[in-house]
Amino acid sequence: MCGNEACGEGAILAGCTFYAGYPITPQNELTAYIAKRMLETGGVFIQAESELAAINMVFGASVAGARAMTSSSSPGISLKQEGISYLAACELPCVIVNMQRGGPGLGNIAPSQADYFQAVKGGGHGDYKLIVFAPSSAQELLEFTYLAFELADKYRNPTFILGDGLLGQMMEPVQIRYTNDDIRTTKKEWALTGCKGRKPNVIKSLLLGEGELERHNQKLQEKYSSIKKIEQRAEAFYIKDSDIVVTAYGSVARIARSAMKKARAKGIRVGMIRPITLWPFPDRLFKETADRTEKFLVVEMSAGQMVEDVKLAVGGRTDVEFYGRMGGAIPTEEEILEKIESII
């Protein structure tokens, strides 16, 4: 199946019963797939009138206690930001998928990674964080989407899948290793179900009392700190035996890995770190690696966004170089290899 479909199947396997979305390329296969699967599984699919409506329908579904999801691509994700801020503020779990395309503006429909900042720094108004996964294959789109639902419920926080048009549309074999019995559900006592046998529940982010909003922010930040401690994920290759560590995520990580192999075949000691969670950023691994290696090379389909987090993580202990392509252009193995050779 294609990556978009794998993502949709991951959601269904995780017990997602509500999806609302709006058509946009390159994530349309996801909308179509999940529309069909919701019919088969008795879930709710709504083609909303806008991205704004879609994210707020997800807000409502989450308020009502359902596992809910929306997906879009870059311009549509910009439209959802207000709703995402509300979801984070109200501590409502849900999963949001961005199959990024070239920007800014209407841009094009080619793959891009230029929405990294938007995904990992919050995106909408206010101080908040989303747990952001960066899958690099159809298999991971399925598995990380599944995991994203679990973590969303566990932390009462929106989680985010940051893919791109290449991953979404690429066809790959996918293994399904879950059954419905695997679903770990959390009891949602905060959800609005009608106040039978309990005091009424209220879900809100408006906190006008003296110091109330600051206390709420402190509580959110404490939650984010604990997520940062527990949920950092990354994959590493040859980092104990490298002069230069290439860093890339998502689809670019696959190209970078091939470049790394070619470089090693040429006798250049190249390792690689592939962040799997972009927030929390796996900075512990970068810190440790910074003491062993000479240099980092960050490769992205952007003007340089994740490179800033790498620099923050290594704290000036090693040089951090960057190679990027923009506007939907994809870096090639040869380009990355050339860059490695030029900075070694």
Would you count residue 203 as binding other proteins (CB under 8 A)?
Answer: yes
Sign of the dihedral through C-alpha 133, 239, 291, 293: negative
Least Å from the CB of residue 252 to other proteins: 34
Rounded distance, CA 330 to CA 42, Å? 39
CB-nearer residue toward other proteins: 191 or 329: 191
Least Å from the CB of residue 44 to other proteins: 5
Of the candidates 171, 146, 207, 196, which has an alpha carbon nearest to the alpha carbon of residue 15? 146
Which listed residue (10, 26, 65, 158) binds other proteins by CB under 8 A?
65
With 0-12 / 13-18 / 19 or more C-beta atoms within 10 angstroms meaning exposed / middle / buried, residue 341 is exposed
Would you count residue 267 as binding other proteins (CB under 8 A)?
Answer: no
Can you give the C-alpha Rg of the chain in angstroms? 20
Would you count residue 53 as binding other proteins (CB under 8 A)?
Answer: yes
Would you count residue 90 as binding other proteins (CB under 8 A)?
Answer: yes
Least Å from the CB of residue 95 to other proteins: 14
Would you count residue 24 as binding other proteins (CB under 8 A)?
Answer: no
HSE-up of 172 (CA within 13 Å, CB side)? Answer: 20
Rounded distance, CA 166 to CA 169, Å? 6
Torsion, Cα of 312, 318, 323, 327 (10° steps): 0
Which listed residue (14, 33, 76, 86) binds other proteins by CB under 8 A?
86
Tokens of 56: 């707020």
Would you count residue 50 as binding other proteins (CB under 8 A)?
Answer: yes
Of the candidates 76, 92, 227, 86, which has an alpha carbon nearest to the alpha carbon of residue 165? 76
* Stretch of 43-51, 158-166, 211-219, 330-338 lying at the interface with other proteins (CB under 8 A): 43-51
Would you count residue 202 as binding other proteins (CB under 8 A)?
Answer: yes
Judged by CB under 8 A, the number of residues near other proteins is: 40
Which listed residue (62, 112, 118, 242) binds other proteins by CB under 8 A?
62
Rounded distance, CA 14 to CA 74, Å? 25
Rounded distance, CA 171 to CA 198, Å? 49
Residue 106 near residue 224, CB atoms below 8 Å: no
* Stretch of 53-61, 114-122, 238-246, 293-301 lying at the interface with other proteins (CB under 8 A): 53-61
Would you count residue 265 as binding other proteins (CB under 8 A)?
Answer: no
* Stretch of 29-37, 52-60, 159-167, 269-277 lying at the interface with other proteins (CB under 8 A): 52-60
Would you count residue 187 as binding other proteins (CB under 8 A)?
Answer: no
Would you count residue 333 as binding other proteins (CB under 8 A)?
Answer: no
* Stretch of 59-67, 178-186, 258-266, 291-299 lying at the interface with other proteins (CB under 8 A): 59-67
Would you count residue 320 as binding other proteins (CB under 8 A)?
Answer: no
Residue 344 near residue 321, CB atoms below 8 Å: no
Would you count residue 35 as binding other proteins (CB under 8 A)?
Answer: no
With 0-12 / 13-18 / 19 or more C-beta atoms within 10 angstroms meaning exposed / middle / buried, residue 216 is middle
Would you count residue 48 as binding other proteins (CB under 8 A)?
Answer: yes
Kind of pairing, strands 131-133 and 277-279? antiparallel
Paired with 131 in beta bridges are 159
Residue ranges that bind other proteins, judged by CB under 8 A? 17-18, 20, 44, 46, 48-50, 52-54, 56-66, 68, 82-83, 86, 90, 192-197, 200-206
